[in-house]
Amino acid sequence: MAGHNHNVLAQDPALVKWAAMVTNRHKYFRWTGRTAWLTFVYVAAVPSIVLYLGYKTDGKYEMRGKRRGDIISEY
C-alpha cells in the first residue's frame, strides 16, 4: 500500500501543542465565574432574547409579493 512515509514534512510545534490542547480540553476544564457566566449567556440569555424577538415580530413582516416601494411591515 502507498503512503508509508508518515510525518515527512516538519510539523510546527505550536500547531501540535494546540491540537493536543483541543483534543484534551475536557480534561482540564474548570468552572470559574467567567465560564459560568459565559455558559449562562450562551445557553439561556441569547436564546431567550431571540425567542422573544421572534414572538414579538411574528407575522409583522411579509417579504413575498412586494414590489419596489411597498413597505414590508404588515401592521
> With bands split at pLDDT 50, 70 and 90, how would you rate the model's confidence at 71?
confident
For 29-63, what is each residue's pLDDT tens digit?
999 999 999 999 999 999 999 999 999 998 888 87
Grid coordinates given for 58: 411574528
pTM, to two decimals: 0.59
pLDDT at 3: 62
pLDDT at 2: 61
- Phi/psi at 42 (nearest 5 deg)? -80, -20
Grid coordinates given for 39: 455558559
pLDDT at 34: 97
Domain ranges of the chain: 30-57
pLDDT at 23: 94
Contact 44, 29 (CB under 8 A): no
Per the prediction, the chain carries an average pLDDT of 88
